Structure 1
Amino acid sequence: MTNRPLAVADRLVPLLRAGLIAGLVVAALAYPLAAATGIGAKATAHAVEAKTKLLSTALPAETSYLYAPDGKTLLTMFYEEYRQYTELSEMSPNIQQAIVAAEDSRFYQHGGVDPKGVARAFVANARSNGVSQGASTLTMQYVRMALRDSATTPQEVQEATQQTSLRKIKEMRMAIDLEKELTKPEIMERYLNSAYFGHRAYGIYAASEIFFSKTPNNLSPIEAATLAGLVKSPSQYDPASSDRKDATDRRNYVLQRMADLGYLAPDEVESMKREPIRLKLTDPPNDCAAIPKEYNSWGFACDYLKNWWSSQPAFGESRMERMDKLRRGGYRIVLSLDPKVQEAAENNVGSKDRTGSPFANGIVVAEPGTGRVKAMAVNRTYSLNLDENPPTSNPEASPKVKANYPNTVAPLLGGGDLPGYQAGSTFKMFPMLAALNAGMPLSTTFDAPHRYRSEIYDGWAPSNASGAMTGTQTMWSGFGKSVNTYFVWLEERVGADTSVRLAEQLGLRWRTDVDRKHASPEHAKQWGAFTLGVSDATPLEMANAYAAIAADGRYCEAMPVQTITDRDGTPTMYSTVSGIEREVAKPRCRQVVSADAARAATDAARCPTGDTPAKGGCGGWSTADSVRGTVGRPVAGKTGTTDSTRSAWFVGYTPELAAASFISDPDNPFNAVGDGQSQIPIEAVSRTLREALKGQPVRQFTPPSDQIVG
């Protein structure tokens, strides 16, 4: 008999202790500074309050979306956590009721911390001599998720999730304070947008789409209960990848709790419990490799977008921070590609060298006056699977190579730091434009020999490609026939360093140690070979540089987007050096040379294409005289080949578009393209311009002034 009362007392002691502790915890929350001091916290009450204020305004990470130029066709998404913020009004009441039933039945009664829940948890844990039950309310859970999502360092992530008494006390205090800042519906909305439901689904929008291929406003009670049941243990209860028995049992528990709370009728629930879980899974696309097959070639522009984004200070101080913004910032991005121009580019690259060719034939089209990229295409399939797409120069490679990413693509795009291809005589535009801008007229004459020994460039003696180029030349004829010795002489007059600096102003970058050394202030004056295109360049750079000439000397930075808007639909802004706010997606242009100099350069650049300049004569023949007839409208441009014709180029432009095309073996630069294939870039550009501009009014180039003609 004496043992029985003692046994009861023994059981009552921990229960009383638990209740006392729960009361003390809640009481301590009313005196946060004292509570924090009592457990040795470093943070002051002021810091906790400041953090609470931040959480009341902070929104969770959100997926960014990439659209085709129509602004409606979704190409792909960028995310680390697939999530789209959804307002409570766009969620079914079923999911709101289910999450309350599953996680916090007294959500609408407590003030952020539930004293009854705390006491119940202490009792349960005391009985089990461990942690068998938690006491976190929805508000406390949201605080924890918000702290985790807003963390900027690993330490902050650890502090937000570590299992310590200090973290729990802070969490409780912040939950109480947060309920003074936000209403219950606002907390519910933020919670449902932050919770992790497993299977890479963050927030209710992602969970509804991934598990049931529907939006949150259409969730049935059974579906809502299934999703709400996942929050406790997303991996254990995931019906898509785990044993569905656990998921079904958990769902049925939530349904029963919904009935207990009066959300569902008991007889309805019993019928629902007998229903199997029916999923309709969706795998949301992520990153450029997930672009639909019908838009495969757009993957190259998508890849360029990422390179461009990572270089924009508007999105962060480092490349890592900028890419984090792309994957978490909830942006709506519309590509600048023009479907008509893109289709023309796709049709005309690889018309002679198909996808399986070792030679890559690529083209980029840019818009004069805006810098917007209108097309990017190459005779490759966009793919990240290098196992299925081995390098074409590999003797063990399949003869039917489907792709060659990234070796071909990185130079094509002009993003990143990998070298491009030597662009040959297309570089003659830079000393000619520099000379015109310095006041030298188009009629500047030189009796160009077959070989010219330069005293300025330490006796360097380049020669022409053909004896037919020997003789008196002007800028028109020298450019039209691509006379090396004329342009070395012209470069001497204007200065190689002046030509190099102008090329930089027109967007060229130096990506190899050799090019950087030659382009440096200490060596640029002696870089005589610059005019012959010995430096690496990308089609994007060359198309955009020539686009500036078409735009009367106004250079615009290359731009892969039409618009970029924040998650609230407002245009994304950035601060210029002068402190002026501008839209990130707006053209960024500056006048590099005078309009008259650019018009004069265009007049000379009509000679290579077989077009007729407004003011001068081309000397009887040119290097790409078929272009004018193919394009069918005024057109300017320049051919370029490298030593042994290892690569061949053509850059052409009209007043509306500028296009640059190359052909080369990206895996083996010593595999010569050969003179027989040097026509391929010429055809790619001329046909692309013809098809892209079909049906548009014919625009004329503005003639240069008589003064600059000479």
Structure 2
Amino acid sequence: MTQARLHKLLTVVIAGTLAGLVLATAALPLALVLGLGFSTLAAPYSELPEHLVTPPTAQRSTLYAADGTTEITSFYEENRADVPLTEVAPVMRQAILAAEDARFYDHSGVDLRGIARAFTANRSGPVRQGASTLTMQYVRNVLSSDPTLSEEQRKAASEISTARKIQEIRYALALERELDKDEILGRYLNIVYFGAGAYGVATASRRYFSKAPADLTLAEAALLAGLVQSPHTDDPIHGDADAALRRRGYVLDRMVETGAVAPAEADRAQAEGLALKPSVQPDDCAAVPEERNDWAFFCDYFTDWWNRQPAFGASVDERQRTLRRGGFRIVSSLDPDVQRDTQDRVLAVYGTHSPHALPTAVVQPGTGRILAMAVNRTYGLAPNPPGQENRPHTVNQLVAGGDGIDGYQAGSTFKIFTVLAALEAGFPLDTRFVAPSRIVTGWPVDGPTSCGGRWCPANADPASMDGEHTMWTAFGRSVNTYFVWLAEQVGMDRVVAMAERLGIVLRADEDARRARYGARQWGPFVLGVAATTPLDLATAYATVAAEGVRCTPLPVSMIVDRGGRPLDAARPDCRRVLDADVARAAADVARCPVGDQSAYGRCDGGTAAGLRTRAGRPVIGKTGSSEGYGTETVVVATPQLVVASMAANPDDPRDPAGKTVQARMVEMAAGIVATALRGQPVRDFTRPSETIARWGTGRRAGD
């Protein structure tokens, strides 16, 4: 056996025996101590576990706005954030060493002198002293907080036993051979608990004093260092100020003894009051700052998105643990300026106490990134009046749907899916049909729109809608009977499938059942009777604006793990779902409703004819009204931006939004586009081929 090996073994034996005696004097029967101690000492020497070198401590994840600096909120089980030792004030380092391990730079992980002192003190008086060096404390903290271990394993790491103490000694000795002293001190300061929910010095300095650890004063550092021994009982924020001050005085005295500070400096620090300036680290979406409460709806969507990503775990519970322990820096897609402008414009239409909601989504074609999610509601769980589940407070996802929110009928905005299905089936844009005021279809239906058991919808304004039309003019004037006829030619199953292909999620049970088992007979789907959401609708029109590339809605632009590595989960999830020429042709048709002009000059009339002028750039889009104007919808898109907004009463579908609100919604959507894209290049839509347009040679009804 080498001399170094023998020295190491002797150190373990002596330290383990003394440690057992210290524990025995403090808490354990002598026979138990000796039994555990000798059996453990007889075991082979343990090598250093990897997680002690790179501890997998739980750290909070922080969600930022798209600017990368404005914090939205954070997510954590333990409020912790690592900081380099160079960013910790020297006085804080001195204070923690004076309080916990004055001989830290002199021993090799185990302080035999300190163990002997503790043994003597514990035999002679009622005050119990520990024998753990700072390195041993670090080992215990890592093992007791390792998120990869079970709850039982973490509890075992801090139990009072000789076996556990000897394991600490072994690991501490091994650790000091792997890391230098400053590395161990830095890791210790990042893992130790300071009370009041603050783990690590960076979080503690902000929790107690609202400042960075580099800016701590002597009095502040001594206070924090004093909390480590009894963080639950000496917490000055929650009524233990006297105990905290006594501990601060002890630390200052120890700093004088070690020569870290002069007696006069310690006296001045001791004369200072607590001078606390506590701050609370926000946790989860309910903790989004009040002045940005509307951002919480976006935050809520982000957490739902995270819970659906298999990259973060095999189950929702596992993905949540990953978020709350992983220490991720998450830069979201939320643009503060676009969100602020969108929210202001929404509130200008409806106030938070209005029975009608105006959920609005703004997305980016080609990436799916969500730039804004606004609605005239307050995010929170405060009680509402009876019968008003979502007014004025709610945490329900009115913009994106889910958790009981199926969505709202989008009306004629769904006609775009008939256009696309027809184009794919070989019908050109110049397909002509003499649209009657009412059309009797072959689809069975009951109710007021039934003619002898067959669905027979009518045009809303026969004077401007009846007569011969192409896809351009029929889409611009929103001619119901034209698109009902066209859908019959194409096949309703193709129309329904097209909507789902472009991102429409049929959340209502009845809608999902019809799509799966009765799509061929679901004629009213043409006119937007299925429930949808602004985010789904924006995704569908963004697919057209991006020339057939559909991108899954994405609430992030960058995710960086605690090691500084960017994760692939933040990349856009996009794929081509339409031929580019088909998408360009649909976009050419969609110029007509919003006052733009098709590449072939074929637009003639539009339901929102002034929108292009107000937006100040080429746009496509559509308006929609459900039966009886129960809901109103506006979608407007450019190659860079899509806005989708829907007016409805989410608590009572029988309460119509009314026709008049549509004009205000058009004005709102145009304003969002104009403001969001101010200063950005003006981009136009690509002209579709003459083959798909077949200008002047389009097929007619009966061809």
With the shorter chain as reference, the TM-score category is 0.7 to 0.9
RMSD, aligned α-carbons: 3.2
The corresponding residue for 1:222 is 219
Conserved? CA contact 1:661–1:684, under 8 Å: no
The corresponding residue for 1:581 is none
The corresponding residue for 1:101 is 98
Greater shift in the superposed pair: 153-162 or 367-376: 153-162
Greater shift in the superposed pair: 643-652 or 439-448: 439-448
1:323 and 1:601, CA in 2 relative to 1: closer, same or farther beyond 3 A?
A: same
SS in 2 for 1:412: coil
SS in 2 for 1:699: coil
* Partner Cα separation in structure 2 for residue 350 and residue 20 of structure 1: 69
The corresponding residue for 2:570 is 585
Residue 514 of structure 1 deviates from its aligned partner by 1.6
Conserved? CA contact 2:459–2:481, under 8 Å: no
Report % sequence identity: 47
SS in 2 for 1:361: coil
The corresponding residue for 2:352 is 355
Conserved? CA contact 1:19–1:123, under 8 Å: no
* Partner Cα separation in structure 1 for residue 440 and residue 152 of structure 2: 65
The corresponding residue for 1:627 is 611
Conserved? CA contact 1:462–1:484, under 8 Å: no
The corresponding residue for 1:3 is none
State yes or no: 1:147 paired with 2:147. Answer: no
- Which amino acid in 1 is paired with 2:581? D
* Partner Cα separation in structure 1 for residue 459 and residue 670 of structure 2: 24
The corresponding residue for 2:27 is none
Determine which of 615, 626, 630 is the counterpart of 1:642.
626
State yes or no: 1:434 paired with 2:417. Answer: no
Residue 649 of structure 1 deviates from its aligned partner by 0.5
SS in 2 for 1:678: helix
* Partner Cα separation in structure 1 for residue 112 and residue 444 of structure 2: 86
Q: Name structure 1 gaps, 5 residues minimum.
A: 1-17, 27-33, 574-583
Greater shift in the superposed pair: 239-248 or 168-177: 168-177
Greater shift in the superposed pair: 149-158 or 641-650: 149-158
Residue 226 of structure 1 deviates from its aligned partner by 0.9
Conserved? CA contact 2:330–2:556, under 8 Å: yes
SS in 1 for 2:362: strand
Residue 294 of structure 1 deviates from its aligned partner by 4.5
1:188 and 1:546, CA in 2 relative to 1: closer, same or farther beyond 3 A?
A: same
* Partner Cα separation in structure 1 for residue 306 and residue 684 of structure 2: 35
SS in 1 for 2:301: helix
The corresponding residue for 1:464 is 458
SS in 2 for 1:65: strand
The corresponding residue for 1:501 is 497
Residue 651 of structure 1 deviates from its aligned partner by 0.9
* Partner Cα separation in structure 1 for residue 430 and residue 386 of structure 2: 47
SS in 1 for 2:277: coil
* Partner Cα separation in structure 2 for residue 622 and residue 270 of structure 1: 81
Conserved? CA contact 2:15–2:110, under 8 Å: no
The corresponding residue for 2:189 is 192
Greater shift in the superposed pair: 476-485 or 419-428: 476-485
SS in 2 for 1:133: coil
* Partner Cα separation in structure 1 for residue 43 and residue 434 of structure 2: 83
The corresponding residue for 1:84 is 81
The corresponding residue for 2:698 is none
* Partner Cα separation in structure 2 for residue 652 and residue 678 of structure 1: 13
State yes or no: 1:519 paired with 2:515. Answer: yes
1:450 and 1:164, CA in 2 relative to 1: closer, same or farther beyond 3 A?
A: farther
User: What are the Cα deviations for residues 586-621 of structure 1, in whole angstroms up to 9, with x where unaligned?
Assistant: 322211101110111111112222322222634x54
State yes or no: 1:158 paired with 2:152. Answer: no
- Which amino acid in 1 is paired with 2:398? P
Residue 461 of structure 1 deviates from its aligned partner by 0.7
- Which amino acid in 2 is paired with 1:682? V
Conserved? CA contact 2:16–2:166, under 8 Å: no
The corresponding residue for 1:264 is 261
- Which amino acid in 1 is paired with 2:662? S
State yes or no: 1:665 paired with 2:624. Answer: no
State yes or no: 1:477 paired with 2:477. Answer: no
1:93 and 1:700, CA in 2 relative to 1: closer, same or farther beyond 3 A?
A: closer
* Partner Cα separation in structure 1 for residue 625 and residue 497 of structure 2: 23
1:277 and 1:448, CA in 2 relative to 1: closer, same or farther beyond 3 A?
A: same
The corresponding residue for 2:324 is 327
Determine which of 508, 518, 523 is the counterpart of 1:528.
523
Conserved? CA contact 1:368–1:657, under 8 Å: yes
The corresponding residue for 1:570 is 565
* Partner Cα separation in structure 1 for residue 679 and residue 487 of structure 2: 41
SS in 2 for 1:248: helix
Within 5 Å, give how 1:371-520 maps onto structure 2. 371-381=368-378, 383-387=379-383, 390=384, 394=388, 403-407=392-396, 410-414=397-401, 418-455=405-442, 460-466=454-460, 468=462, 469-520=465-516
* Partner Cα separation in structure 2 for residue 486 and residue 327 of structure 1: 53
* Partner Cα separation in structure 2 for residue 23 and residue 691 of structure 1: 70
User: What are the Cα deviations for residues 486-522 of structure 1, in whole angstroms up to 9, with x where unaligned?
Assistant: 32333333333333333233222222222222232x4
- Which amino acid in 1 is paired with 2:504? L
* Partner Cα separation in structure 2 for residue 470 and residue 149 of structure 1: 72
1:622 and 1:24, CA in 2 relative to 1: closer, same or farther beyond 3 A?
A: closer
- Which amino acid in 1 is paired with 2:578? V
1:512 and 1:149, CA in 2 relative to 1: closer, same or farther beyond 3 A?
A: farther
Conserved? CA contact 2:634–2:665, under 8 Å: yes
User: What are the Cα deviations for residues 401-438 of structure 1, in whole angstroms up to 9, with x where unaligned?
Assistant: 7x33224xx03034656322222221221222122123
* Partner Cα separation in structure 1 for residue 551 and residue 588 of structure 2: 21
1:368 and 1:21, CA in 2 relative to 1: closer, same or farther beyond 3 A?
A: closer
The corresponding residue for 1:4 is none
The corresponding residue for 2:9 is none
The corresponding residue for 2:588 is 603
The corresponding residue for 1:576 is none
Residue 127 of structure 1 deviates from its aligned partner by 5.7
* Partner Cα separation in structure 2 for residue 172 and residue 126 of structure 1: 22
Conserved? CA contact 1:391–1:404, under 8 Å: no
Residue 149 of structure 1 deviates from its aligned partner by 2.5
1:628 and 1:393, CA in 2 relative to 1: closer, same or farther beyond 3 A?
A: farther
1:394 and 1:467, CA in 2 relative to 1: closer, same or farther beyond 3 A?
A: closer
The corresponding residue for 2:208 is 211
SS in 2 for 1:614: coil
Q: Name structure 2 gaps, 5 residues minimum.
A: 1-13, 23-33, 446-452, 695-703
Residue 664 of structure 1 deviates from its aligned partner by 0.9
- Which amino acid in 2 is paired with 1:691? T
Residue 136 of structure 1 deviates from its aligned partner by 2.5
User: What are the Cα deviations for residues 83-105 of structure 1, in whole angstroms up to 9, with x where unaligned?
Assistant: 22111122122222222222223
State yes or no: 1:313 paired with 2:307. Answer: no
1:492 and 1:219, CA in 2 relative to 1: closer, same or farther beyond 3 A?
A: same
Greater shift in the superposed pair: 647-656 or 257-266: 257-266
1:604 and 1:44, CA in 2 relative to 1: closer, same or farther beyond 3 A?
A: farther
Within 5 Å, give how 1:289-304 maps onto structure 2. 289-304=286-301
- Which amino acid in 1 is paired with 2:636? G
SS in 1 for 2:359: strand
* Partner Cα separation in structure 1 for residue 44 and residue 427 of structure 2: 73
Conserved? CA contact 2:363–2:643, under 8 Å: yes
Conserved? CA contact 1:329–1:566, under 8 Å: yes
User: What are the Cα deviations for residues 270-295 of structure 1, in whole angstroms up to 9, with x where unaligned?
Assistant: 45434433223233333334444543
Residue 245 of structure 1 deviates from its aligned partner by 2.0
* Partner Cα separation in structure 2 for residue 497 and residue 157 of structure 1: 56
1:449 and 1:164, CA in 2 relative to 1: closer, same or farther beyond 3 A?
A: farther
TM-score for both structures, normalised by structure 1: 0.85
Conserved? CA contact 1:36–1:44, under 8 Å: no
1:701 and 1:24, CA in 2 relative to 1: closer, same or farther beyond 3 A?
A: closer
Residue 306 of structure 1 deviates from its aligned partner by 2.2
- Which amino acid in 1 is paired with 2:393? N
* Partner Cα separation in structure 2 for residue 663 and residue 474 of structure 1: 30
Residue 194 of structure 1 deviates from its aligned partner by 0.6
Residue 196 of structure 1 deviates from its aligned partner by 0.9
Residue 267 of structure 1 deviates from its aligned partner by 4.8
- Which amino acid in 1 is paired with 2:582? A
* Partner Cα separation in structure 2 for residue 158 and residue 290 of structure 1: 30
Greater shift in the superposed pair: 289-298 or 589-598: 289-298
